[in-house]
Amino acid sequence: MAQPPAIEVRSLSKVFRVHERAPGLRAAVASLFRRTYKEVTAVDDLSLSIAPGERVGFLGPNGAGKTTTLKVLAGLIHPTSGHVRVAGHVPQRRETAFLESIALVMGQKQQLLWDLPPVETFALNRAIYDVPQDVFAQRLAELDDLLGLRAVSGKPTRQLSLGERMKCELAAALLHGPRVLFLDEPTIGLDVAMQLAVREFLRAYADRTGATLILTSHYMDDVVALCPRVVVIDKGRLRYDGDLRTLSRTVRPDKRIAMRLRADGPAPDRAAIERLGEVVELEATRAVIQVPQEGVRDAIAQLFASHDVADLTVEDPPLEEVMRELFASTGDARAASPGDGPRA
Amino acid sequence: MRYVRLFGTQLRRSLALALQYRLDFVTSGLVSIVWSVISIVPLYVAFHGRPAVGGWSYESALVVFGWFTLLKGVLEGAVNPSLVQVVDHIRMGTLDFVLLKPADAQFLVSTARFEPWKIVDLGVAIAIFGYAFARLGHPPSAAAVALAFAMLCAAVAVLYSVWILVVAAAFWVVRVDNLVYLFDSVFDFARWPSSVFKGAFSILFTFVIPLALMTTFPAQALLGTLAPGTAIAAVVASLLAAIGARRVWLRALAHYTSASS
Amino acid sequence: MRRLARTYVTLLRVGFAAALAYRAEMVVWMLTTTMPLVSLALWSAVAAEAPVGRFGPSDFVAYFLAALVVRQLTSSWLVWQMNQDIKQGSLSQRLLRPVHPLIHYSAENLAALPLRAAIAVPVAIVALVTTGGGHFARDPTVVGVAVASLLGAWLINFLTMAILGSLAFFTESSTSAFEIWFATSMLLSGYLVPLEIFPAGVRAATDVLPFRYTLGFPVEAITGRTTAGHALAQLGVQWVWVVVLGGIAIAAWRAGVRRFAAFGG
């Protein structure tokens, strides 16, 4: 018998009413007396189903409705219409059993008590979630294993670095053993090493506990490393739901062939290479070309025939580019993320 | 049961925090004492050696002042510190974390922080009672003390409810600094017996912002002059205030979860 | 200099727009300003039994209405703003601007004045009508002193706020220092009780302390409860306080910013 889904969303919509004010003194005075409102549809007829233990990445440009969706799933925002069930509960009812089975980590906000060491927050959460002492000790030991908390959790939070704080933040969110874990940009602002550590931790945690994991991130690497399945949301609408690889393949059915030539050999033959596919990069000893999937075999054969190849790799185009293309194709030229990767 | 333990944890945490700042104990103690002495001056000017105002002699006005000191201690020690944090929570968006906890949000925010050093105010209040009753020449009866205690509970309930209302405003208005400030300024008039005020202010301070209930009724109870009908009305009113505050709080939360982004 | 003046005008305009932005706050604000009305009711009732010192009920009315106006025109809330800026690091942005932050703060403060005057002017008119004008200064010297004392009172308020606000650079609990100042000033400035009816010893102390010069002194000048000679002498004391507090404020600010820079906010 199939397990009931961990998350079930049917036709979810959320409309906000926002107050609008033009700049300038006159508008400021005018808004004292009459305010104009406009309706903004943050989430528009969204449906999806996520099985227990799945790891899903929410992708989309800024303001696409990812965070709103996440907050609806966590029961923080009431939907305007539609049905939502998470771990068998209706989130907006905020039943104790529901709240005990989820956790939300927000990279830009923190729940740790600022003036006290993180251990105090842990103890507080233990009392709030009513976790038995022995379970609590065991979980803390496990988290310590994965995150190396012991060195930092005794210092007042305000003295911790951003990375250390994030580790403790994760621990505080996971001490009650949530079955569904929502992560809103958990690696934002962290350096590369720390991003890697957080990613590894999340994967190990999900493997160990079988928890369902929903992630939004601006760093495509987070998504690639953690989420086999992605959900693309743009302007509140579902654009894509499925396998990450399939997504790249549908949007960009091309492959990239990167070739390194022997330094002592002849220079690359530009005309010959251009005949094979679109040139992304061409230097004295290095060339990157983009070719349709079915042409990869022929292209490689010809490259080997015409050049003194030292090394050759075939890869998918970077996810940033895939996303850019996806959003551009609806007439929306916004990039997938503000600081995205190398341009072709 | 969970809540009892939770309350204990929160209280311990506040104590731990307070112990970090032991200097605060000395300063807040000193300030409290000096401040109470200075504050008696206007009372002295208005009541001492003069005809009774609105039926209040100097000594009985002192008893009101004692209750005022005590309630100010409760307000600043137990009510105010945690509730002002709600405002920060809303502004920084961290209220979400509170709402995600499987415990009542109002309980969590109301017990988040205590200022244990404010216990000094209790001592000061008792000293004022002692002085006033020594001047009167007779101690209050046991029944009067019991009734006064009941009135104190009603007063605290009302004080807390009014504060929840102030904080709930933060869900609609981004900055409530001046609302807090307004409440502080209004509360300051609780040091005067309410019947000194005439006309509109008397109605305002009895029904709208029940300062009378907060300090005058407990004082009358202790002095043995509180009418039984008034006492019952006070208890009923405090219950209604608590229920009303709870409803407003729930509405504020509903507003927050349906309007926030 | 001209550039500074031009910048200042812009700062004032932006500050005014900001002050207008929240109408709910404005209501609260108007309510806060009615405090002297409560004092008025209280002391009129007390004086109704028998006059307190030189004060009969109508003297109290004139005094507290004047207090309301003075309070409106001279108050400052810099402490809260500095606290927020320092704790949340938004001070860095102010430090980056080519205008001294204290100047910028003062502009934000003064920009709210038109709104406050909108509340103060009707009260002043009510005061003149209800008391028949007999309780207000006539002597031109005293009137002049009253006007000058308003500026002095605002400066003292602003500068002490700047000093107390600078404490936030050094300690976590700077607002409690402010609360002590605020509570003391409520009483010793003549806001709750006219200083004149205090016992002589307390009165002598308030003559020396700065509190009285933020409220009691301007109110006494406006209500004409002082002679020209005494008023001028008091004005001198007030401005000595302005200079002293100005010096302390600048020193405190400098020390604070040095520390802010050292700790990186």
Chain A residue with minimum CA distance to C16: A25
Residues of chain C positioned with their CB less than 8 A from the CB of B173: 22, 24-25, 28
pLDDT band at B219 (very low <50, low <70, confident <90, very high): very high
Provide the token pair at A261. 């030539």
Please answer yes or no on whether A116 and B16 come within 8 Å at the CB atom: yes
Please answer yes or no on whether A32 and C23 come within 8 Å at the CB atom: yes
* Residue of B65, B175, B202 to mutate, testing the C interface (most C Cβ within 10 Å of its Cβ): B175
For chain A, say whether B94 makes contact (Cβ under 8 Å). yes
pLDDT tens digits for range C149-202? 999 999 999 999 999 989 888 876 666 777 778 878 888 898 888 998 888 888
Best CA proximity match to A140, nearest among A104, A176, A180: A176
Task: Pick B223 or C108 by higher pLDDT.
Answer: B223
Please answer yes or no on whether C17 and A115 come within 8 Å at the CB atom: no
Integer Cα distance of C19 and C112 in angstroms: 6
**Residues of chain B above pLDDT 90, percent:** 35
Please answer yes or no on whether A28 and C20 come within 8 Å at the CB atom: yes
Res. C92: pLDDT tops 90: no
Please answer yes or no on whether A29 and C20 come within 8 Å at the CB atom: yes
* Residue of C29, C31, C32 to mutate, testing the B interface (most B Cβ within 10 Å of its Cβ): C32
Q: What is the DSSP letter of B182?
A: H
List, as own/partner pairs, every contact residues A184-187 make where C-beta atoms lie below 8 angstroms and the sequence separation is at least 24, other chains included: A184/A66, A184/A67, A184/A70, A184/A104, A184/A105, A184/A106, A184/A107, A184/A108, A184/A216, A185/A106, A185/A107, A185/A108, A185/A216, A185/A217, A185/A218, A186/A105, A186/A107, A186/A215, A186/A217, A186/A222, A187/A107, A187/A217, A187/A219, A187/A222
Please answer yes or no on whether A29 and C172 come within 8 Å at the CB atom: no
Residues of chain B positioned with their CB less than 8 A from the CB of C25: 173, 175, 178
A-facing residues of C in 167-186 (CB < 8 A) are: 172
Residues of chain A positioned with their CB less than 8 A from the CB of C17: 24-25, 28
pLDDT tens digits for range A132-144? 999 999 999 988 8
Integer Cα distance of A334 and C101 in angstroms: 37
pLDDT band at C61 (very low <50, low <70, confident <90, very high): confident
* Residue of B7, B13, B97 to mutate, testing the A interface (most A Cβ within 10 Å of its Cβ): B97
Please answer yes or no on whether A28 and C17 come within 8 Å at the CB atom: yes
pTM greater than the 0.90 cutoff: no
pLDDT for the residue A231: 92
Chain C residue with minimum CA distance to A159: C263
For chain A, say whether B200 makes contact (Cβ under 8 Å). no
Chain C residue with minimum CA distance to B34: C184
Mean pLDDT computed over every residue of chain A: 83
CA-CA-CA-CA dihedral for C44, C47, C51, C53, to nearest 10: -80
Residues of chain A positioned with their CB less than 8 A from the CB of C21: 28, 31
Q: Which of A338-342, B28-32, B46-50, C212-216 has the lowest mean pLDDT?
A: A338-342
Please answer yes or no on whether A109 and B17 come within 8 Å at the CB atom: no
Residues of chain C positioned with their CB less than 8 A from the CB of B46: 43, 46, 52
pLDDT for the residue A339: 33
Res. A329: pLDDT tops 70: no
pLDDT band at C38 (very low <50, low <70, confident <90, very high): confident
pLDDT for the residue B84: 78
pLDDT for the residue C212: 94
pLDDT tens digits for range A203-215? 999 998 999 999 9
Interface of B with C (CB under 8 A): 21, 24, 27-28, 31, 35, 38-39, 41-42, 44-46, 50-54, 172-175, 177-179, 181-182, 185-186, 188-189, 192, 196-201
Res. B18: pLDDT tops 80: no
Q: Which of A303-307, B25-29, B126-130 has the lowest mean pLDDT?
A: B25-29
Contact B185, C182 (CB under 8 A): no
Q: What is the mean pLDDT of residues B217-225?
A: 93
- Closest partner CB to C45 (pick from B175, B186, B198): B198
Integer Cα distance of C61 and C132 in angstroms: 11
- How close C258 gets to chain A, by Cα (Å)? 20
Provide the token pair at B112. 């988040």
pLDDT for the residue A29: 64
pLDDT tens digits for range A72-131? 998 888 888 999 999 999 988 888 889 889 999 988 888 888 778 888 888 888 888 888
Q: Which of A63-67, B54-58, B159-163, C9-13 has the lowest mean pLDDT?
A: C9-13
pLDDT for the residue B261: 45
A89 DSSP β-pair partners: A86
Q: What is the mean pLDDT of residues A8-24?
A: 80
Tracing tokens 């300062």 back to the chain, one arrives at B211
pLDDT for the residue A8: 93
pLDDT for the residue B259: 58
Please answer yes or no on whether B45 and C193 come within 8 Å at the CB atom: yes
Q: What does the domain layout of chain C look like in residue ranges? A: 2-258
Residues of chain A positioned with their CB less than 8 A from the CB of B16: 116, 120
Most confident listed range (A111-120, B35-44, B93-102, C152-161): C152-161
pLDDT tens digits for range C121-152? 887 787 777 776 677 888 889 999 999 999 99
pLDDT for the residue A154: 84
* Residue of A19, A20, A32 to mutate, testing the C interface (most C Cβ within 10 Å of its Cβ): A32
Res. B146: pLDDT tops 90: yes
pLDDT for the residue C265: 43
Q: What does the domain layout of chain B look like in residue ranges? A: 2-254
Mean pLDDT computed over every residue of chain C: 83
Contact A171, A92 (CB under 8 A): no
Q: What is the mean pLDDT of residues B123-127?
A: 93
Q: What is the mean pLDDT of residues A253-264?
A: 83
Q: Which helix (H) or strand (E) holds B173?
A: none
Q: What is the mean pLDDT of residues C229-258?
A: 93
Residue burial A43-62, b: 16+ Cβ < 10 Å; e: rest: bbebebebeeebbbbbbbbe
Res. C247: pLDDT tops 70: yes
Please answer yes or no on whether B94 and A110 come within 8 Å at the CB atom: yes
pLDDT for the residue A333: 37
pLDDT for the residue A337: 36
- How close B158 gets to chain C, by Cα (Å)? 21
Q: What is the DSSP letter of A89?
A: B
pLDDT for the residue B176: 66
pLDDT for the residue A265: 76
Residues of chain C positioned with their CB less than 8 A from the CB of A24: 17
Beta strands in B98-138 (DSSP E): none
Res. C263: pLDDT tops 70: no
Give the number of A-C residue pairs with CB atoms closer than 8 Å: 13
Please answer yes or no on whether B2 and A130 come within 8 Å at the CB atom: yes
Please answer yes or no on whether C45 and B31 come within 8 Å at the CB atom: no
Res. A344: pLDDT tops 70: no
pLDDT tens digits for range A155-179? 888 788 888 889 999 999 999 999 9
pLDDT for the residue B11: 86
Q: Which of A51-65, C110-124, C242-256 has the lowest mean pLDDT?
A: C110-124
Integer Cα distance of A112 and B98 in angstroms: 11
pLDDT for the residue A2: 58
- Closest partner CB to B178 (pick from C32, C52, C197): C32
- Closest partner CB to B100 (pick from A68, A74, A124): A74
